[in-house]
Amino acid sequence: MEPEPASKTSAIFEITGVTKIYQTGEVEVRALNGVELKLQRGEMAVLLGPSGSGKSTLLNIIGGLDRPTSGSVKFKGEELAAASDRELTLYRRNHVGFVFQFYNLIPSLTAWENVALITEVATSPMSPADALALVGLENRMHHFPAQLSGGEQQRVAIARAIAKRPEVLLCDEPTGALDSATGIIVLEALARVNAETGATTAIITHNAGIRKIAHRVYSFLDGRIASCVVNEVRIQPSEVSW
């Protein structure tokens, strides 16, 4: 493993005092309750925590899909909490790659086309074929999502997320719908992308076994980050015990 970079590089995200309150009718849900977090450029972070602890909420705020109720989220010094809808759209388009539990592929487009969809509007993308090769799908490029297995679909989603060479790769339970063997393949793809493209990667999981592949592990509890552990030694995804 490379020496861990977190201490040397600067923070790409600086998150301070972030709260998120969902108002549903009479009920007020405090999804985030004062989150403090710095993500370092190029690091791979794993966000752990029980269901409902606010992981997705935070990831969505980082990804520009949602705004915090209060607090500050700075991306390379720019305040996202104050950005307009249009600015957030451009931010997602130009800087963020997303991978979700349910792939969110376009069923009417082939694997290649799903990736091309994004590269067509990116500023300095890699070719869709290269992106698919990076996740080991060079032979499945012209298949439609319906013709691919779950793991393959998720790898298309990863290829799509990284093809635009994003600075940030946000993955919300990318292995949540997959069996362990397939999950490992997907994690390997993510680790490889992180290493080869240097994209700051955040992976949400509630599978504690995955934590050891990260540079840093944040544990969520009741809308706060309860602890942060730096892994002195990272393991390969293939070594993850599921």
Ligand X SMILES: Nc1ncnc2c1ncn2[C@@H]1O[C@H](COP(=O)(O)OP(=O)(O)O)[C@@H](O)[C@H]1O
Residue 22 or residue 236: which is nearer to ligand X going by CB? Answer: 22
CB of 31 to Mg ion, least distance (A): 10
Task: Report 119-138 residues binding other proteins (CB under 8 A).
Answer: 120-121
- Which window, 38-46, 58-66, 188-196, 214-222, contacts other proteins (CB under 8 A)? 58-66
> Shortest Cβ distance from residue 67 to ligand X (Å)?
12
In this chain, which stretch among 72-80, 103-111, 201-209, 221-229 interacts with other proteins, using CB under 8 A?
Answer: 103-111
Identify the CA nearest to 74 among candidates 34, 15, 10, 6.
15
Work out whether 92 is an interface residue with other proteins (CB under 8 A).
yes
Q: Determine, following the binding rule CB under 8 A, whether residue 144 of this chain makes contact with other proteins.
A: yes
> Of the candidates 6, 15, 46, 53, which one interacts with ligand X according to CB under 6 A?
53
Q: CA 116 to CA 131: how far, in whole Å?
A: 10
Contact 157, 99 (CB under 8 A): yes
Site for ligand X in 89-128 (CB under 6 A): none
Of 12, 45, 55, 202, the residue at the interface with ligand X (CB under 6 A) is 55
Long-range contacts of the stretch 109-114 (C-beta < 8 A, 24+): 109/144, 109/145, 110/141, 110/142, 110/143, 110/144, 111/137, 111/140, 111/141, 111/142, 111/143, 111/144, 111/145, 111/148, 111/152, 111/156, 111/159, 112/141, 112/142, 114/145, 114/156, 114/160
User: How many amino acids of this chain bind other proteins (CB under 8 A)?
Assistant: 37
Q: What's the N-to-C CA distance of the chain in angstroms?
A: 21
* Residue 36 binding target from other proteins, ligand X, Mg ion, none, CB below 5 to 8 Å by type: none
Fill in the DSSP letter of residue 83.
Answer: -
CA distances from 115 to 111, 158, 163, 172 (A): 6, 9, 7, 19
Residues that bind other proteins (CB under 8 A): 56, 60, 65-66, 86, 89-94, 96, 98, 100-102, 104, 106-110, 112-114, 116-118, 120-121, 142, 144-146, 160, 172, 177
Residues near ligand X, by CB under 6 A: 22, 24, 29, 31, 49, 51-57
